[in-house]
Amino acid sequence: MKLGVSTHKLFGYRATLRTAKRLTEEAVRVVDRAVAGRMPDVQVVLTGERHLADVISAAEFETAGCTDKRVQARALRDAKRQARDVAGRSIPLADGGVLVVVNIDQHPNEATFAITLVHELVHAMQTSRKGVRDRLIAGMRHDLGVERLSRRAYREHERLLEAEEKEAYGSEYLAGRLVPAAAA
């Protein structure tokens, strides 16, 4: 399992990057022990609200194999509209790893960052389970219009996404092991 932490178009955040690297290493250890599955290769990217949509969209286009420029432009517009509300996002990559994008503007302190990091790392662990990565990529391809799923398959995908989201929210208490203030 490889782990990388970097920034995208953030300047003057060297101390934040150091803190993020420290917390990420600890969070990977804690989540790996507490959640079922194997931790895949994880790349954590810190960015601001302004560039969040660009990073997320580029990763999704690459994973889904989307080459249609009109679809890419529409997806990027939608992502920019939603970027203000997104604290973090995990995206399965084509090479088997997971990209975790964190909106640094949503995290005023270590405690909120730790909670988001644990939440997204739980999603990363979920992608290692049998059939989950393929289902997530198929759902991404459906959302981008590359390859449609049947209504029944898409409803099942949505139901499983909801269950995975509940599991991730239920595991956020693990952030208290990283930063004691996150337990409150």
Q: Is the pLDDT of residue 70 over 80?
A: yes
Whole-model pTM over 0.85: yes
What is the residue extent of each domain of the chain? 3-183
What pLDDT was estimated at residue 165?
97
> Is the separation of the CB atoms in 117 and 26 below 8 Å?
no
Q: Is the pLDDT of residue 146 over 60?
A: yes
Q: What percent of the chain has pLDDT over 90?
A: 85
For residue 78, CA distances in Å to 12, 22, 48, 99, 165 come to 29, 33, 17, 20, 21
pLDDT tens track for 9-29: 988 889 999 999 999 999 999
3-state helix/strand/coil string of the chain? CCEEEEEECCCCCHHHHHHHHHHHHHHHHHHHHHCCCCCCCEEEEEECHHHHHHHHHHHHHHHHCCCCHHHHHHHHHHHHHHHHHCCEEEEECCCCCEEEEEEHHHCCCHHHHHHHHHHHHHHHHHCCCCCHHHHHHHHHHHHHCCCCCCHHHHHHHHHHHHHHHHHHHHCHHHHHHHCHHHHC
